[in-house]
Amino acid sequence: MDDVIRPWEKVGSKEVGNFRIFNVRSDIRIHPRSGRQHDLYVIESVDWVNACAVTPDGKLVMVEQFRHGSETVEMEVPGGMMDREDTDPVETAVRELREETGYGGGEARLLGYMHGNSAIMNNRCHTVLVTGATLQHARQLDAGEDIRVHLVALEEVPRLVASGRVRHSIALAALHHFDLWRRGFITTGAA
């Protein structure tokens, strides 16, 4: 039997919910082996970015904030949504880093991307590395933000993650990219 995994043909799609920061869509698709129809809900969102910013003295810039999904205070890396007019995830990450933490400068480049959630979301989340980041600006928090900045020594990051202090799936995944870069598995144009 053919064991190559094939895409499922889409034979119908309609919007079924609009919730400002995301929409919900209902798709009808055909199972490639059984030929049967399945209907599936998909959450549509703009892309997101995360910034893994390192200072010249070897600290990772992290942020702590209350999160409304989990209803808990979480330790994460800075990040945010790409606005409709944003076309470059690196620029967006540098902007979010500056607004949330005041850090900037140095050199910024892409480490990789992930899907917001391949099963139920249609967006991507880009992991951006910023090296040589220093405190350069006043922070510009949105009215809906309340964020505390933490500097974490690079050698402490694996222990911090292992302790369970980082629980946002997207931050945990972005820090996987970052860890693989630190260990030489991911290389970028300028290292």
Query: Which residues within the stretch 49-108 sit at the binding site for a second copy (CB under 8 A)?
Result: 64-74, 76
Cβ closest to a second copy, residue 56 vs residue 191: 191
Residue 156 makes CB contacts below 8 A (sequence gap 6+) with none
The C-alpha torsion from 126 through 131 and 188 to 171, rounded to 10°, is -30
Q: What is the C-alpha to C-alpha distance for residues 86 and 104, in angstroms, rounded to an integer?
A: 18
CA angle at 88 for the pair 83 and 90, rounded to the nearest 5°: 105
* Residue with Cβ nearer a second copy (56 or 120): 120
Binding map of a second copy across residues 13-52, x = CB under 8 A, - = no contact: ---xx-xxxx-x-xx-x-xxxx-x-x-xxxx---------
Q: Which stretch binds a second copy (CB under 8 A): 53-61, 95-103, 130-138, 158-166?
A: 158-166
Q: What is the pattern of x (binds a second copy, CB under 8 A) and - over residues 124-153?
A: -x-----------------xx-xxx-----
For a second copy (CB under 8 A), the number of binding residues is 76
Compute the least distance from the CB of residue 59 to a second copy, in Å: 18
Nearer to a second copy, 5 or 105 (CB): 5
CA gap 168, 70 in Å, rounded: 9
83 or 146: whose CB is closer to a second copy? 146
Q: Cα separations (Å) of 123 from 28, 85, 184?
A: 19, 15, 27
Select 98 or 126, whichever has its Cβ closest to a second copy.
Answer: 126
Rounded distance, CA 191 to CA 187, Å? 7
